[in-house]
Amino acid sequence: MALLDIKNLTIYYETEDGVVKAVNGIDLQLEKGESLGLVGETGAGKTTTALGILGLIPNPPGKVKGGEIWFDGQDLLKTPEKEMRAIRGGKISMVFQDPMTALNPVHKVVDQIAEMVLLHNEGISKADAQVRALQMLEMVGIPADRANEYPHQFSGGMKQRVIIAIALACNPEMIIADEPTTALDVTIQAQVLDMIRGLRERLGTSLLMITHDLGVVAEICDKVAVIYGGEIMEYGTLEHIYNETAHPYTKGLFGSLPRLDLDVDRLTPIQGLTPDPTNLPAGCPFGPRCPQHTEACDVKPPYNEISPGHFVRCMLFNDQAINTAGKESEE
């Protein structure tokens, strides 16, 4: 059984200007010890999915409209708030996108790590929590003599290390990393990614990596889910996504990457803009931008398994489906 099993998760933001359909029936599985990349453009619903798992959707305006999130045999959407607090940080922790703002500016770095330790280890003394916090800092490569400094005395990359130290402080079963390297410059990105990979290998933590960077995914993840308009477009192993790319959207994403091995003057971007989440197309959300668009795309395409473990939501692959039963998520 998968560690994390999201079934048909739907999250809307109900604002005065209309209903923002951020996540529309997502299915995702993450096995124990595995790392899954959730790839998509800005506004595709990646962060909303992550916050949904932790039950941190700001409400109002956000609202989970339906679906199930099974984690360790427990439906998180039906878990009472008190138990959710034990799960947040204790079993699932999150690394946020912007290290510049994710740390409390008025608390010492060591205290922010120790806070996590104190919350999830009942009966631990403050002194022991501090010791554990110092160990975590050393683990992410920050010398302990800087523990009593404040976040503004740290560089961006070091802040992100602190955030990762906080996330790992209580040995969680799963980490959700929401674009952990987006706000960092390239050399620091590589360091942080190396560190995440190294720590994960050592600690065996499962990882849900949210990113828009296909390079990051290739480096860190075992499996990939491509999300667009709040729906999973394609899901499979690295092999499936990178070598047997099926969905036109995924192909478009690869087409817009600069390549070193080919001499091209211009990149081929995907035409058009991401759909307005208050007014999604009736059929395939990618339909209006798809170069292979046909009339068949005006109805919602089914989520087909085209080879074992490789799922695609596209009309083009309707007849190649080896198994659609149970994976149907049409309304």
Partner 1 sequence: MYKYIIKRLIYLIPVLLCVTLLIFTMLYITPGDPARMILGNDASDEAVEQYREELGLNDPFWTRYFRYLVGILHGDLGTSYTTKMPVAKEIAERFPTTFVMALLVTIFGTLVGVPLGIISAIKQNHAVDYLATTVGLIFVSMPSFWLGLMMIVLFGVKLKWFPTSGWYGPQYAVLPAVTVGLTGIASRMRMTRSSMLEVIRSDYIRTARAKGQTEFKIITGHALQNALLPVVTQIGMAFGTNMGGMIITEQIFAIPGLGKMMTDAVNQRNHPVVQGGVLWIAFATSIVNLIVDVLYAYIDPRLKAQYVSNKKKKAQAPKEAKAEGGAAA
Q: Which residues bind partner 1 (CB under 8 A)?
A: 54, 56, 84-90, 93-94, 96, 98, 101-107, 115-116, 119-120, 141-143, 145-146, 150, 152-153, 155, 157-158, 161, 163, 166, 191
C-beta closer to partner 1: residue 180 or 248: 180
C-beta closer to partner 1: residue 121 or 237: 121
C-beta closer to partner 1: residue 88 or 223: 88
Task: Compute the Cα dihedral for 182, 185, 188, 190 and give only its sign.
Answer: positive
- CB of residue 99 to partner 1, shortest distance in Å: 9
- CB of residue 176 to partner 1, shortest distance in Å: 9
Contacts within 8 Å (CB) and 24+ apart, 127-134: 132/169, 133/165, 133/169, 134/110
Retrieve residue 307's tokens. Answer: 């080879």
- CB of residue 259 to partner 1, shortest distance in Å: 29
Alpha-carbon span 250 to 197, nearest angstrom: 24
- CB of residue 98 to partner 1, shortest distance in Å: 6
Alpha-carbon span 329 to 220, nearest angstrom: 29
Query: Chain centroid to CA 54: how far?
Result: 12
C-beta closer to partner 1: residue 56 or 267: 56
Q: Are 172 and 200 in contact (CB under 8 A)?
A: no
C-beta closer to partner 1: residue 101 or 125: 101
Query: Backbone dihedral region of 67: left (phi > 0), alpha (psi from -120 to 50 degrees) or beta?
Result: left
Contacts of 130 (CB under 8 A, 6+ apart): 110, 114
- CB of residue 180 to partner 1, shortest distance in Å: 13
C-beta closer to partner 1: residue 156 or 283: 156
- CB of residue 164 to partner 1, shortest distance in Å: 12
Question: What's the length of the chain?
Answer: 331
| Cβ atoms within 10 Å, residue 244 | 12
